[in-house]
Structure 1
């Protein structure tokens, strides 16, 4: 396979410095591709801080509209004609589409019109979110659209085996695994802060129960509340403090339910790393993740993680060794798993040590290399005949 630098167009409705798992992943992939000598054109909506920023050869900006219920995130405006004009002048070798909104759809249509190979990524389970926002009847239609969208691409990259199996069951084709990595130097137990813990009202032997993520309905936060209450009841003589890092529409409700919890808001970089490392136990009750980057970040920070046996947790937690798992949707099993970690100090100590050792080996370099290989494979003659290929007759979009 050729090793010549590629010209890659990456299309996404979210990108750093926005804070979410998709933006984090794409930022890492883009940084890694550029470090390997590839030419990257990023196509995304303008963010709030750059309304007057002009587009350039490396950055093509579009208009965006706020996503209801998701402050700070946007749908990108369709830009088919703009993309056709730009790509006719500077044709990319391959297009990677990370989001399936209007901008992603217009990129798919423009690339197919120009017979440029398209690779897509399945980053977010939007079809699962609908039930949490009063649109449950749209779930089937949205799944159908997502299947149609991704099946018109050369391949779709998914972050976990459980996600791959679920999508295959629903008729998605040509799925390839692209896992996620973690910056194990940033997220490290050495970042533990006695000062931060004192601010939380904790001494060395007290337990900081941490949750990091968006505070929203799809994150199954009712179980977070129930789990913490169960831990408090099981350990009435131990000092337990719930620490929530992140923000979202459920924050006000959670503050009413958890008046003694510490709400730390959004954290970035070193501050986020210090919050992770200053915790002890990490509760991750979400059932809507395609991966769940926070699981690896918590492990790298040396926390004992409690999660459901799916996505990142299924790949990176060995039950009873480097964390604890519950069967998907088994809420009583989740609570029991958390209680087991705190039942014996050795259980938590061992899980934390083993979690760090495992996560320290999950760097981004191998993930970026795999991503590059998959993008190159979309250019191979053997791929002709697949949707988006250069050797097939395409109807006009």
Structure 2
């Protein structure tokens, strides 16, 4: 149960965090949860992580880690669904009862955690990390979109609150009947992602010199990332500025990699990168092209800004929150591909455009620390411990 810490200032919570993905898996959800978990522990909280077992996990019980059997996620090699584990969770939480539960994913594991929490009357906060209802359209399951949206609404409306990472996401979910939404943005490690990580050796390996332009994309190479626009934007840059030496650099992996390599045979595909190597790839670029329309946030946008790149993205999620068009990046009108291409071209139209944008990008992104995000997360978890509020119709918040 919650106890006062040694300084007598804060309350130390016992928190259970449930997720079907976590490092060393590489994706925005895993990255975010790693920072939140580390930050909560640094602030004196006890965090039990509940997730599917990964290949690298040691055998045997571990403190603050409850491993569940996982099943491969179709279309996403290396990622898993967590098996429904109601009885295992009930046993664990009856022995060591959490003060509050945070559910980051809505799969079978998340659903069983929601049910276990309901039986034990433990308050639950949920996070809306992934637009799965949009993903279904990209994988040929259009008929499931409405049903999946209804399930997600049912799931999240049974928690004390749902945390969303961007204002655009909050508005979209409100319009679909999601209740009790609160903002929890994302931070960036501005010491890791820094312009000083630029590597001349890496750029030479790409065949570039100081005057060349590396057009960078970092992310999962999958259908929902709108990568056809990445290709058409790069071709437009080549056609408009034939005198410039441009090279497309793609960092990441996924089911569309082979198709992209066929479409863009001159591009350099660097595969998955982590840590310092990832930071060097960012900083060694010049433009960052991010055509995705399915993001709840888009951590890579902040990482690119912190690395001092000229970022072009649609005016939504992280880009809408952190980019001012013409000041620290270039924004395209939502859903307008021609506007996206024009925003990309603007960055190279005049040397001053890119120089100014890159300088301001680094300066602004450096202010977005994870420390402030973790503190707000802590406040939301504490708020969930308060008694439910009576609603006018006689209902109460769950």
The interval holding the TM-score normalised by the smaller chain is over 0.9
SS at match of 1:270: helix
| Residue 66 of structure 2 corresponds to residue 80 of structure 1 | no
Other-structure match for 1:369: 375
Q: Is 1:37 equivalent to 2:44 in the alignment?
A: yes
* Offset at residue 392 of structure 1 (A): 7.1
Q: For residues 220-277 of structure 1, give each alpha carbon's deviation from its aligned partner in whole angstroms, at most 9, with x where no partner exists.
A: 0000000000000001111000000000000000000000000000000000000000
C-alpha contact (below 8 Å) 1:54/1:61 kept by paired residues: no
For 1:248, which of 241, 245, 254 is the aligned residue?
254
Q: Does 1:99 align with 2:100?
A: no
- Say whether residues 1:266 and 2:272 are aligned partners: yes
Task: Please name the residue that 2:301 is paired with.
Answer: 295
Q: Which residue number in structure 1 is paired with residue 138 of structure 2?
A: 132
Unaligned runs of 5+ in 1: none
User: Deviation at 1:57?
Assistant: 3.5
Structure 1 residues 180-259: aligned runs within 5 Å: 180-259=186-265
Query: Aligned residue for 1:160?
Result: 166
Please give the secondary structure, in 2, of the residue aligned with 1:202.
Answer: coil
Partners of 2:267 and 2:390 lie apart in 1 by 56
Contact 2:160 2:397 in 1 (8 A): no
Find the aligned partners of 2:253 and 2:377 in 1 and give their Cα distance. 31
| CA distance, structure 2, for counterparts of residue 143 and residue 100 of structure 1 | 12
Deviation of residue 384 (structure 1)? Answer: 5.0
Pairwise CA distance, 1:4:
1.5
Match of 1:12 in 2: 19
2:189 match: secondary structure: coil
Structure-to-structure mapping, 1:106-145, within 5 angstroms: 106-145=112-151
Q: Is 1:337 aligned to 2:367, yes or no?
A: no
CA contact (8 A) 1:188 1:300 kept: yes
Is 1:71 aligned to 2:77, yes or no?
yes
Question: 1:369, 1:4 → 2: CA distance?
Answer: 13
Q: Which runs of 5+ in 2 are unaligned?
A: none
The reply to whether residue 322 of structure 1 matches residue 323 of structure 2 is no
Question: Which structure ranks higher in relative contact order (CA pairs < 8 Å, sequence separation ≥ 6)?
Answer: 1
CA distance in 2, matches of 1:393, 1:314: 31
Distance 2:369 2:11 in 1: 24
Following the alignment from structure 2 to structure 1, what is the Cα–Cα distance between the partners of residues 68 and 342? 48
- The two structures have a TM-score, normalised by structure 2, of 0.96
Structure 2 CA distance for aligned equivalents of residues 393 and 5 of structure 1: 24
Paired residues, what number? 388
